[in-house]
Amino acid sequence: MLHTKKTGMITASLIGIMLLGGCMKGATETVKKEDNPLVSVQGYTGEGYDLPNGKENDKIAEASREKVVSSTEKFFLDTYKTNVKVHNIVGNKDGASVFVESIDEPRFHTFAVIPIDNKGKVRPEGIWTEEGQVELSIKSGLYAMIYEEQLKTLDTYLEGVVKEHPVVGKQEEAIQKTSSTGFTTPYYYISIAGKSLDGLYEAYINNPQKTKEEWQAEEKNLQASPEDFLITIQLYMKEKGAKPDQKIFDQMVADLEKMENLSPGSYSVFLNDNTINKGSANNTKENKLELNYPNEIKKP
């Protein structure tokens, strides 16, 4: 798991890595080709993403899609003062996980859970979120607003890497349908550790209409260490069958280490092969190259 010391942002209980049954043998000891859970990252748009024991509730939630969508949108507006768009509804053991994206800034991806009772009825009055999940996602979006100019440096660099080398990021549709990682781009996502930016979150809830310029003016008041902001860079090899390229990986690490004008934080770097597990929306191969905790690149 990424950043094992930072569990607040990674919602393992619902969004953790789940292998599909592609390798399970039936009575005839045969495995159908379509059961292979690994697909090319360029072709992955979130189809096949699932959660444990959620197939029946997935059907129930989809049948009540209009109610699920309207209830979730109202919940986020009432609770978090944020307008969101529902991108995906995925059944889970006790109901359905609803993946949303904020419509305006601060930009972030997150999810809520809508219960389904034992009679198969959707219960919108019981919508809930995992403790801290949405709060950390909002903080991630606020961070991205405050450090917008510095993040442009990272965006420009990674866009250049993708143009110059045979690597790619995730498809936008896949991010929309499966991600709950706060501020997320095709190449990286930002996580906020613990209670960092608590004051800014409270300020947002009290005044969500605050302008970007007003948020950016808060930078001078921030007193946090690089360990409080986690920037995780995830790239994939472009060609099917290609192993993660050590030279490309080493060059990215070297470039980031010497790069100036990056936003403060701890930068992890992952280079995967071309595959993604359609059930978990993650690369589950062990051949990835990584620079991760405790050796992240730290920028003050």
Per-residue pLDDT of the chain (300 residues; tens, 9 = 90+): 334 334 344 333 333 333 233 333 333 333 344 578 999 999 999 999 999 999 999 999 999 999 999 999 999 999 999 999 999 999 999 999 999 999 999 999 999 999 999 999 999 999 999 999 999 999 999 999 999 999 999 999 999 999 999 999 999 999 999 999 999 999 999 999 978 899 999 999 999 999 999 999 988 888 878 999 999 999 999 999 999 999 999 999 999 999 999 999 999 999 999 999 999 999 999 999 999 999 999 999
User: Is 0.75 topped by the overall pTM?
Assistant: yes
Q: Which two tokens stand for residue 51?
A: 């959660």
pLDDT value for 18: 34
Query: Contact at 8 Å (CB) between 100 and 80?
Result: no
pLDDT value for 36: 84
pLDDT value for 34: 52
Three-point CA angle 44, 51, 64, nearest 5°: 95
Q: Which two tokens stand for residue 167?
A: 């690597």
DSSP three-state, residue 290: strand
pLDDT value for 221: 84
Query: Contact at 8 Å (CB) between 106 and 204?
Result: yes
Collect all residues with Cβ–Cβ distance below 8 Å to 13 and sequence separation of at least 6: 130
pLDDT value for 21: 31
Please give the Cα distance from 279 to 235 (Å, whole number): 19
Quickly tell me which residue has 């930072």 as its tokens.
6
DSSP three-state, residue 80: helix
Torsion of CA 142, 14, 19, 26, to 10 degrees: -150
pLDDT value for 180: 97
